[in-house]
Amino acid sequence: DAGVIQSPRHEVTEMGQEVTLRCKPISGHNSLFWYRQTMMRGLELLIYFNNNVPIDDSGMPEDRFSAKMPNASFSTLKIQPSEPRDSAVYFCASSPHRAGELFFGEGSRLTVL
């Protein structure tokens, strides 16, 4: 079985550009999480979905960030416009049920110049 698939693995962009990160969770999992990891702030929970519905988005930094889950097999995290301080590794993780173990993707490393 394929694990959680994230794309792109690496993205370098310039300040002000739109960035879209994509995630395909494990089939049958009904919870999906987006995290951001930096040296300074560690692993921050941005948003999580259950059955495609956003449950808690209190970690989304500001209006420049948005996340969607149009169906059970796909989610996006969008940053518009991007800023240098958004540079981080963004992880997507899915779980077979709420409060269950998480299966992480390999992450998308974003660099905003």
Partner 1 sequence: SQQGEEDPQALSIQEGENATMNCSYKTSINNLQWYRQNSGRGLVHLILIRSNEREKHSGRLRVTLDTSKKSSSLLITASRAADTASYFCAVANAGGTSYGKLTFGQGTILTVHP
Per CB under 8 A, 50 contacts partner 1: yes
**Least distance from C-beta 28 to partner 1, angstroms?**
16
Task: Go through 74-93 and write b for each residue having 16 or more CB atoms within 10 A of its CB, e for each that does not.
Answer: ebebebeebeeebbbbbbbb
Residues in the interface with partner 1 (CB under 8 A) total 25
Per CB under 8 A, 31 contacts partner 1: yes
What is the chain's alpha carbon radius of gyration, rounded to the nearest angstrom? 13
Per CB under 8 A, 98 contacts partner 1: yes
**Largest pairwise CA distance in the chain:** 38
Per CB under 8 A, 94 contacts partner 1: no
Per CB under 8 A, 25 contacts partner 1: no
